[in-house]
Chain A
């Protein structure tokens, strides 16, 4: 990227020199682009979920700290497991006043339903964070570790244990299927619900046996003593060491790997734009999200949800997305979730 910029810079230099003689005194700063009207922020999910919370939070932070002259308008386009939102961005080629926040349905929806869209038809802007997943059980159950629980599943009847999750053929079910690789051939009965909050409550009410809720969806019930975390689906423990309950911090939850369950999965919380936008336009949003991430509000939000606070832009981000897409394809394929012809 640096290389390209210098090439471009040299060419520009000549052009500027030539232009400057004509337009004497006209300034031409390199990253001068700014939104000229309101920016539409699309959420490919319903109100109240994790992506929705984050997008509305960003909207609030941008407004509160005056990070942008034009307002941000948040719109939910949840239809078809988010396909509606992604198709909108695909359609809006060259529109620099539109951004979209992603969740795993960026990969899973086109693979499972065959609706034609792909991240390559959009412009990657930035990875904001990675959302974690935790294996939860009701605190009245005797399972103290992931190993205990998996042993119980192994010893039980096939499909006896019920896993509650958000959506169908999406991240929660992918993790469930991945877990089945260590349960000695015993399957879970996966029960899909509409939202993560409802899933946590179903577990507290003992209607399901376990969930793989995101931290932010289950933390309130954990603190109230209704739920017990068994392990986190990451290759290292969480970095947040502040006590969340009386005895435990996020960093006290062992990784699933160290509990003998070799499954890890994180979900992208990233930003994309329509295809066909200029480098200056992307740079504006990268800069905007850098500013958002520097606010104390953002840091507090990250800690509350125990997010993996990784930031990526440019080629690094695109490479990460490409690898994630490949991984999802493998996971979806082995789970038998791919739509016909994929």
Chain B
């Protein structure tokens, strides 16, 4: 119960008018940053970091972490409205969020996304509050083999989950792996597949690929459909928040499962992106409404959003206690801590009690303030879809181009984005799924690195993946997930004759 006393003290630090004002400013800035693709949370925090050096550390971290929450909330907006995920963990949100928007249910989708984010983040904060010292040590058990097993589980839960055929999913994923391999090979220090072009030294950035594949590809497809933006019939319903909340109650099982996945992935620290994909994959398998996933099922928005935010929030725990950032944004925040003279590490909770509990208290408050801010804006966001396509499309295009340029301040990236746009369009036409491609670009090089580190450690012996109960469990789960669709497909083929539709 010592935690409760500390937390109350934290609230007394965080709840000053000055800090509350900073929270509000941070959330609004964060939402704006999250909406603009390319200017992700990491960039936003990095740009604003120097401005906070004149503030007391607690106020500064409160404002910066609120920008972080705001950006997390904001990322869902573009995913749902325009099919452009601004962050890797928003990709899974587009699968059902955007179809909902096309059906004129953008406001419902947004409310579901925001509320789920809040639930995920809130549960994670509670976990941090009461279990921080216990679970902080858990991350230490994660070596390269454990990391690889998590990535493997993520990929495995994805194969056979897509709408298209399993072979098309695999083909798209393999292309993603190839693209992820471009650039510097972290293990040998050699350049791969750059063909002498300096522009390819950095490899393909996830954001460029996503802005092109989803954003530009979407615009090309819409143009073909006759310059009409589906979803223009979006109604303005002011009571939508309450009616959506009523529906959300039905998905409590998915919520709880997603929270568990999210917290686990955040703490280990596997990250928010595997969490969101894994949670979506599991929800699709286990939900009675699984067959509707991908067609605008609200549960398909709840699952990834809850898990991503639970993971994003609990990722702050390994950052504070071990000094390993769970995300690029966390890495920049980490730099900030050092400049304020705070040393992230096992002793932070002992030596800087006021700071740590002020921050944890601000997580509660920041998320509540954030939820209120974004929910009141839902009708406004949904109304964006009522703007005629001929006006909104050029605006999206310009924002996409700016976003692509901002990632590395590089004009080449803008051309790359257009190329990815055409790829996205062709993929749509040939009914190849885009998500596995994106997933492989995001996690491909990390998975490869973890695999090769494991191989170095074990001198090339694959038994390292079954060397202890932890890694063995995760690997076995992954293998089960991989075989599951195969087994059920075989069963369907030999049991009944209606395999043609499933394939």
State the CA gap A64–B53 with chains docked (Å): 7
Q: Which of chain B's residues 158-177 have a Cβ closer than 8 Å to chain A?
A: none
Q: Which of chain B's residues 328-358 have a Cβ closer than 8 Å to chain A?
A: 328, 331-332, 334-336, 338-339, 341, 343-348
Distance in Å from the Cβ of A148 to the closest Cβ of chain B? 23
User: Of residues B143, B348, B449, which shows the largest number of chain A Cβ atoms within 10 Å of its Cβ?
Assistant: B143
Return the chain A residue nearest B341 by Cβ: A300
Chain B interface size, as a band, is: 35 or more
A159 within 8 A of B: yes
The answer to whether A60 touches B189 (Cβ under 8 A) is no
Number of interface residues of A (CB under 8 A): 59
The answer to whether A79 touches B183 (Cβ under 8 A) is yes
Stretch with Cβ within 8 A of B (4 or more), from A10-18, A197-205, A247-255? A197-205
B388 within 8 A of A: no
The answer to whether B408 touches A77 (Cβ under 8 A) is yes
The answer to whether B331 touches A47 (Cβ under 8 A) is yes
Q: Residue A60 contacts which of B49, B141, B198, B324 (CB distance < 8 angstroms)?
A: B49
A74 within 8 A of B: yes
Chain A residues with CB below 8 A from B198, complex form: 83-84, 87, 115
Stretch with Cβ within 8 A of B (4 or more), from A118-126, A188-196, A259-267? A188-196
Q: Which of chain B's residues 394-418 have a Cβ closer than 8 Å to chain A?
A: 408-409
Chain B residues with CB below 8 A from A31, complex form: none
Chain A residues with CB below 8 A from B189, complex form: 81, 112-113, 167-170, 173, 192, 337
The answer to whether A115 touches B46 (Cβ under 8 A) is no
User: Of residues B51, B142, B328, B346, which shows the largest number of chain A Cβ atoms within 10 Å of its Cβ?
Assistant: B346
A224-B183 CB under 8 A given contacts A81-B189, A84-B202: no
B456 within 8 A of A: yes
Distance in Å from the Cβ of B254 to the closest Cβ of chain A? 33
The answer to whether B457 touches A47 (Cβ under 8 A) is no
B325 within 8 A of A: yes
Return the chain B residue nearest A40 by Cβ: B409
The answer to whether B343 touches A52 (Cβ under 8 A) is no
State the CA gap A304–B343 with chains docked (Å): 9
B201 within 8 A of A: yes
Chain B residues with CB below 8 A from A47, complex form: 42, 46, 328, 331-332, 335
State the CA gap A220–B346 with chains docked (Å): 7
B57 within 8 A of A: no
State the CA gap A64–B46 with chains docked (Å): 16
Interface string of B449-460 (1 = CB under 8 A from A): 100010011010
Q: Which of chain B's residues 359-387 have a Cβ closer than 8 Å to chain A?
A: none
Interface string of A63-92 (1 = CB under 8 A from B): 110000000001101111101100100000
A226 within 8 A of B: yes
Q: Residue A197 contacts which of B53, B191, B201, B324 (CB distance < 8 angstroms)?
A: B324
The answer to whether A192 touches B187 (Cβ under 8 A) is yes
A59 within 8 A of B: yes
A33 within 8 A of B: no
User: Of residues B189, B190, B324, which shows the largest number of chain A Cβ atoms within 10 Å of its Cβ?
Assistant: B189
The answer to whether A168 touches B325 (Cβ under 8 A) is no
B240 within 8 A of A: no
Chain A residues with CB below 8 A from B183, complex form: 79-80
B6 within 8 A of A: no
Q: Residue B139 contacts which of A52, A78, A190, A201 (CB distance < 8 angstroms)?
A: A201
Interface string of B221-260 (1 = CB under 8 A from A): 0000000000000000000000000000000000000000
A192-B334 CB under 8 A given contacts A57-B339, A84-B202: no
Query: What are 8 A-B residue pairs whose CB atoms fall within 8 Å in the complex?
Result: A60-B339, A168-B187, A189-B456, A204-B322, A220-B343, A221-B346, A224-B346, A337-B189
Q: 8 closest Cβ contacts across the A-B interface?
A: A79-B202, A220-B345, A80-B201, A48-B331, A168-B189, A207-B143, A224-B346, A169-B189
| Given A47-B335, A115-B191, 13 additional A-B pairs, CB 8 A | A47-B42, A52-B335, A60-B339, A63-B50, A77-B408, A79-B183, A81-B189, A112-B189, A204-B140, A205-B143, A216-B338, A304-B341, A304-B343
Q: Which A positions have Cβ atoms within 8 angstroms of B? A: 46-48, 52-53, 56-57, 59-61, 63-64, 74-75, 77-81, 83-84, 87, 112-113, 115, 159, 162, 167-170, 173, 189-195, 197-198, 200-202, 204-205, 207-208, 216, 219-221, 223-224, 226, 300-301, 304, 337
